[in-house]
Structure 1
Amino acid sequence: MALMLAALRILLGGFFMLTGAAKLSPVAAPVSQQLKVLFTRFAEVCPLKLFGYQPDPRSYQTAVGWLELLAGALLVAGPPLLQGISTLLLILLMMGAIFTLVSLEESLSTCIPTLVCLGLLLLLDACRLLAQPQQALRPSRKKTAAPRAFRESWE
């Protein structure tokens, strides 16, 4: 089970590192233009707009790209605490992406990759949280002997 969770963590981390790098790098002109158009639409319905912040589409794309790249890298190679934090950040990012897609009234087929990523991140986080108490509650195998005076008083 631990091997499957590690594989899932590495695959998800690698996926988010690739998608983050694609948002940050000047890729082929048609893809770059398509990302620019998408993030212009995304910035119009950004979840942060509910709090009074309207992001610039280019800076929004850059911020999402860096978040995906760094959180994906921490998910792959970070210590357990930072893996948990990066999972939480990616879950929040996917929830924001779903909010954005629903606000733009996109089709279900457009939302499916985001929903799958969110589901896998939630599964990874739930399994990590379920495995944590088991490690903390394992009894030690070291047996301690009762003091001699204590044993003699009961005999």
Structure 2
Amino acid sequence: MAFVFTAIRVLLGLFFSFAGAVKLTDLISDEVYQQMKTQFVQFADVFPLKSFGFKPEPMQYLEAVGWIELVAGLLLAFGPRLLQEISNFVLSIIMMGAIYTLLVLKEPVAMCAPATVCLGLLLLLNIHGRRKRKSKFE
């Protein structure tokens, strides 16, 4: 069973790394990169901290999310346990923000599916990690 969770962690980490890389460069897919640039203009308009007076510049927002996904994805896949747990937490926050943003923009529920599945897998890995740590101390 440990192999299954390791495979999920590595594949999910690689997925996030790829998703982050797509946000950072047009070399992977110019069409997707241009689409991301357009979407992040809308995402910046409904940024969760906007009510506190903080509205990010769309390109900086895109780059920040891209770098976070790239680095946290690599750490989730290949980092030491502590950094895996930290990256899991960070990526979970990113996915909650993505779901919030899509719901506020009244996007179809199907648009939330990828972020929801990723969040579910991150939470599953977190629960598995906690059980594993707890059983070591008992």
TM-score (norm: length of structure 2)? 0.95
Equivalent-residue separation in structure 1 for 2:17 and 2:7 (angstroms): 15
Long gaps (5+) in structure 1: 138-155
Partner of 2:109: 108
Equivalent-residue separation in structure 2 for 1:88 and 1:76 (angstroms): 14
Which deviates further from its counterpart, 128-137 or 54-63? 128-137
Matched, 1:12 2:12: yes
> Which of the two has greater helix per residue?
2
**Count of residue pairs the alignment pairs up:** 137
Equivalent-residue separation in structure 2 for 1:104 and 1:119 (angstroms): 22
SS of aligned partner of 2:26: coil
TM-score (norm: length of structure 1)? 0.85
Equivalent-residue separation in structure 2 for 1:85 and 1:51 (angstroms): 26
- Using the aligned pairs only, state the percent identity: 49
Give the AA of the match of 1:39: F
Partner of 2:127: 126
Equivalent-residue separation in structure 2 for 1:115 and 1:29 (angstroms): 26
Structure showing greater radius of gyration is 1
Equivalent-residue separation in structure 2 for 1:13 and 1:30 (angstroms): 23
Matched, 1:67 2:73: no
Can you list the C-alpha shifts for 1:50-106, whole angstroms capped at 9, x where unaligned? 332100000000000000000001001111111000000000000000110001000
Contact persistence 2:22–2:32 (CA under 8 A): no
SS of aligned partner of 2:36: helix
SS of aligned partner of 2:54: coil
- Report matched runs for 1:4-153 at 5 Å: 4-27=4-27, 28-137=29-138
Task: Tell me how large the CA RMSD over aligned residues is.
Answer: 1.0
